[in-house]
Structure 1
Amino acid sequence: MKKIAIWMMAPLLALVLGTATAAPQNDLALGSGDVVKISVYNNPDLSLETRVSANGAITFPLIGQVSVAGLSSAAAEKKIAAALVSGNFVKNPQVNVLVTSLQSQQVSVLGQVLRPGRFPLDGSRNLLDVLALAGGVAAEGGDQVTILRTADGKTTKQVVDLTDVIRSGDQPANLDLNGNDVVYIERAPRFYIYGEVQRPGIFRIERSMTVLQALAAGGGLTPRGTERGLRIKRRDATGKIEIIEAKYDDLVRADDVLYVRESLF
């Protein structure tokens, strides 16, 4: 079956995984840089809009500094309410914490996407959702996505094949993204073709692409071209260029240069 280019699939990303669920904003952990709006029912003097400091705390009237980093909005509400009660400031306080700007829980999407940048995870927490926010994979983008994440001072790398995910319709749980993850879409591998072909130039390598398919991508041979003596210039592991006598069913590799000779007769 002919492969469908990933960039054409981008508008279908959300449809493919219809069971994917967005995380409610109040379930996300607060962190440095987040802006929160806090109110206490029937106590307008305690209303406050503030930013979580670098050390993960806010300063609240009457009770002073409160550490909220790592807490959900609901947990932060309970912690502030408990401090108001223990200090005999308010009896049975009804505290509401609303996140107005989520800065700590963002993911960076870079490389071959239509709108690279940083995106909040307040409404989307999995890979395909975030790629959709970035406009989908661009035409030059490849099938593989690299996810970089840092935890406890250690950076790990995960490579995901988008074609396999979309074809299976099953997104594993480990594709859920966390704050400060980096998603990178590499450029699709390409090959070069020149000589006696109709459209010499640079072309995308489709999955399991053969020399015959590469010739078709170049528009086929010119009237002066010959199928005999097809050659591929390819760099080996040491970077040295080797010349290979190509056959139709040979697979094309990234950065191959395919040369079509002119017929002598």
Structure 2
Amino acid sequence: MPVFRFKFLLMIYFLIHACISFAEDKNDFVLGAGDSIHITVFQNPDLTLDTRMPESGNITYPLIGLVNIGGLTIADAERKIARALKDGGFFQQPQVNIVLVTPGNQISILGQVSRPGRYALDTPKMRISDALALAGGASPTGSDTAVVIGTRENKPFRKVIDIASIFLDDKQDDNIQVIAGDEIYVHRPPVFYIYGEVQRPGSYRVERSMTVIQALAEGGGPTTRGTQRSIKLYRRNSAGEVVESTPSITQPIQADDVLYVRESLF
């Protein structure tokens, strides 16, 4: 086969593939709040419109006025506008084309996740667990909780979600729906500190329902010179003051607790 003919056929293949991909995108992408779109009608430049989708999904289009295309795929929105132009008696067979300039139905997932960034909402009813899955979930350095910031009913919205409890404690009500413009942040996990007569002093992650004895085990336990009977706990109170206490071994550990294992006197 001549080289020129091969290159020509290859170009045709990629052109067809691109058209198929574009058609699939039109069938799949759902228009939502914040999407910037470019609308044209073949051989009618006066009907060209550049607009951004409002939350209501209603846009004002020449000749037909208010039309709701929110929640429709691009292909369905094209058909709806074309049908309105035809039913209004303006055209026999209008060819409407909508191009997505900038997707607006995106969320930001930040912090300690595997793949932080901006993600398009694949569905208008995406839950926070599904959204975090888009970013690969929390990284090994990530917390069990996520903070969701956005707006609801034109008011600032902020909610701290315990992701693990959704599955461990069946708190499905906390698996809230995320919407366009939401920001999800996963912070570093809470840590406690242990030092003194322990095998491995340092900072460690506070696990769920962790107790003093479990925290001591995380540090490798007391050295031959230490004893669990002489543990001191240093915890900051609501006033920001550090308070010293002698905890029981079953007392829960909190974020930023400091455990000091003292040397045994005997």
TM-score by length of 2: 0.72
Judge conservation of contact 2:81–2:96 (CA < 8 Å) in 1. no
1:103 aligns with 2:103: yes
Distance 1:94 1:188, change over 3 A: same
User: What amino acid is aligned across from residue 112 of structure 2 in structure 1?
Assistant: Q
C-alpha displacement of 1:86: 2.4
Aligned positions of 1:1-265 closer than 5 A: 25-26=28-29, 28-35=30-37, 45=43, 52-53=51-52, 70=70, 72-73=72-73, 74-75=76-77, 77-86=79-88, 88=90, 90-93=91-94, 95=96, 97=98, 100=100, 103-122=103-122, 125-167=126-168, 171-172=172-173, 175-265=176-266
User: Structure with the greater relative contact order (CA < 8 A, sep ≥ 6): 1 or 2?
Assistant: 1
SS of 1:156's partner is strand
SS of 2:146's partner is strand
Asked which structure has the greater CA Rg, the reply is 2
* CA–CA separation in structure 2 for the residues paired with 1:66 and 1:176: 28
Q: Which has the higher helix share?
A: 2
C-alpha displacement of 1:146: 2.2
SS of 1:52's partner is strand
| Number of aligned residues | 234
User: What amino acid is aligned across from residue 180 of structure 1 in structure 2?
Assistant: G
RMSD of aligned residue pairs (Cα, Å):
3.5
User: What amino acid is aligned across from residue 147 of structure 2 in structure 1?
Assistant: T
C-alpha displacement of 1:117: 1.6
Moved more, 147-156 or 99-108: 99-108
C-alpha displacement of 1:65: 8.7
C-alpha displacement of 1:177: 1.6
User: What amino acid is aligned across from residue 153 of structure 1 in structure 2?
Assistant: N
Judge conservation of contact 2:166–2:175 (CA < 8 Å) in 1. no
SS of 1:193's partner is strand
Judge conservation of contact 2:233–2:245 (CA < 8 Å) in 1. yes
C-alpha displacement of 1:153: 2.6
Q: Sequence identity of aligned pairs in percent?
A: 39
5+ residue gaps, structure 1, are 1-23
C-alpha displacement of 1:249: 1.0
* CA–CA separation in structure 1 for the residues paired with 2:114 and 2:192: 23
Judge conservation of contact 1:51–1:58 (CA < 8 Å) in 2. no
Distance 1:170 1:54, change over 3 A: closer
TM-score by length of 1: 0.72
Judge conservation of contact 1:33–1:103 (CA < 8 Å) in 2. yes
Judge conservation of contact 2:212–2:247 (CA < 8 Å) in 1. yes
* CA–CA separation in structure 2 for the residues paired with 1:30 and 1:249: 51
